[in-house]
Structure 1
Amino acid sequence: MRAVSFFLFKILFISAITLSLVVNHVNAQQFEFSGDRKNQTINFNLVRNLVIVPLYINGNGPFNFILDTGVGPLIITDTSIVKDLNLKKLRPVKMNGLGKGLEIDAFISNEIYAKIGKAEIENIPTAILKEDVFALSSYVGVPIHGLLGYYFFNSFVVELNYTGRRLKFHRPETKRRIEGEAIPIEIFNNKPYMSVHMDIPGLGTRSLKVVIDNGASHAISLETLDENPFPIPTASIKANLGIGLSGPISGSVARIPSLRVGSFILNDVISSYPDYDNAARKTLFLNRNGNLGAEILTRFNITFDYNNNFMYLKRNYNFRRPFEHDMSGMEIFVDDALTKRFFISRIEPESPAVEAGLLVDDEILSINFMTAGTMTLNDVSKFLRMENGKTLYIAINRKGELLIKTIKLKKRI
Structure 2
Amino acid sequence: MCQIIVFTLVFWISAEAQIGFNLGPNKHAILDFESTNHFIIMEVKFGNVLPLKFIFDTGSEHTLLFKKEYADLLGVQYDRKIPLMGSDMSQEIYGYIARRVNLIISQTYKITTDILVLEEDYLKLEESTGVKIDGIIGANVFKFFVLSVNNRKNKIRLDEAQRFKSPRKYSEIPVRIFRNKPYVDGTMTMGRDKLEVKLLLDTGAGLPILLYTNTDENLDLPAKTIRGTLGSGLGGHLEGYIGRVHHFEFGDYAFDNILSSFQEVESDSITRQGMERNGLIGNSVLSRFNYVIDYPHQKLYMRSRGRLKRKFKYDKSGIQLAAAGHQLKDFIVQRVLPDTPAEEEGVMKGDVIKRIEGIPVTFFTLTGINNILSSRNGRIVKLHIDRDGNRIKKKIKLRKII
In structure 2, the CA distance between the partners of 1:355 and 1:106, relative to structure 1 (3 Å rule), is: same
Matched, 1:12 2:8: yes
Deviation at 1:243, TM superposition (A): 2.3
Separation (CA, whole Å) in 1 of partners of 2:90 and 2:389: 34
Separation (CA, whole Å) in 2 of partners of 1:27 and 1:78: 20
Q: How does 1:22-101 map to 2 (within 5 A)?
A: 22=13, 24-26=14-16, 29=19, 31-34=21-24, 36-99=25-88
CA contact (8 A) 1:30 1:155 kept: no
CA contact (8 A) 2:86 2:93 kept: no
Deviation at 1:198, TM superposition (A): 1.3
In structure 2, the CA distance between the partners of 1:269 and 1:288, relative to structure 1 (3 Å rule), is: same
SS of the equivalent of 2:284 reads: helix
Instruction: In structure 2, list runs of 5 or more residues that go unmatched.
Output: none
CA contact (8 A) 2:23 2:29 kept: no
Query: Alignment length, in residue pairs?
Result: 398
Separation (CA, whole Å) in 1 of partners of 2:209 and 2:187: 12
Deviation at 1:213, TM superposition (A): 0.4
CA contact (8 A) 2:190 2:246 kept: no
SS of the equivalent of 2:362 reads: helix
Deviation at 1:269, TM superposition (A): 0.1
- Which residue does the alignment assign to 2:287? 298
Matched, 1:174 2:163: yes
Matched, 1:188 2:171: no
Matched, 1:235 2:224: yes
SS of the equivalent of 2:45 reads: strand
CA contact (8 A) 2:174 2:299 kept: yes
CA contact (8 A) 2:17 2:115 kept: no
- Which residue does the alignment assign to 2:348? 359
CA contact (8 A) 1:160 1:166 kept: yes
CA contact (8 A) 1:240 1:250 kept: yes
Matched, 1:201 2:201: no
Separation (CA, whole Å) in 1 of partners of 2:119 and 2:401: 38
In structure 2, the CA distance between the partners of 1:239 and 1:339, relative to structure 1 (3 Å rule), is: closer
Separation (CA, whole Å) in 1 of partners of 2:358 and 2:267: 42
SS of the equivalent of 1:25 reads: coil
* Amino acid paired to 1:112: V
Separation (CA, whole Å) in 2 of partners of 1:324 and 1:343: 22
CA contact (8 A) 1:30 1:154 kept: no
- Which residue does the alignment assign to 2:127? 138
Separation (CA, whole Å) in 1 of partners of 2:383 and 2:392: 8
Aligned-pair RMSD on alpha carbons? 2.1
* Amino acid paired to 1:11: F
CA contact (8 A) 2:352 2:387 kept: yes
Separation (CA, whole Å) in 1 of partners of 2:270 and 2:35: 28
Q: Structure 1 residues 259-268 or 164-173, which shifts more? A: 164-173
Separation (CA, whole Å) in 2 of partners of 1:339 and 1:11: 23
Separation (CA, whole Å) in 2 of partners of 1:228 and 1:111: 45
CA contact (8 A) 1:107 1:127 kept: yes
Separation (CA, whole Å) in 2 of partners of 1:46 and 1:30: 28
Matched, 1:253 2:249: no
SS of the equivalent of 2:167 reads: coil
Give the % identical residues: 25
Q: How does 1:138-157 map to 2 (within 5 A)?
A: 138-157=127-146
- Which residue does the alignment assign to 1:161? 150
In structure 2, the CA distance between the partners of 1:326 and 1:130, relative to structure 1 (3 Å rule), is: same
* Amino acid paired to 1:190: N
Deviation at 1:280, TM superposition (A): 6.3
CA contact (8 A) 1:13 1:96 kept: yes
Deviation at 1:227, TM superposition (A): 4.8
CA contact (8 A) 1:101 1:246 kept: no
Deviations 1:239-276 (A, max 9, x none): 221223232222211111111121111111011111x2
Is the strand fraction higher in 1 or 2?
2
SS of the equivalent of 1:69 reads: coil
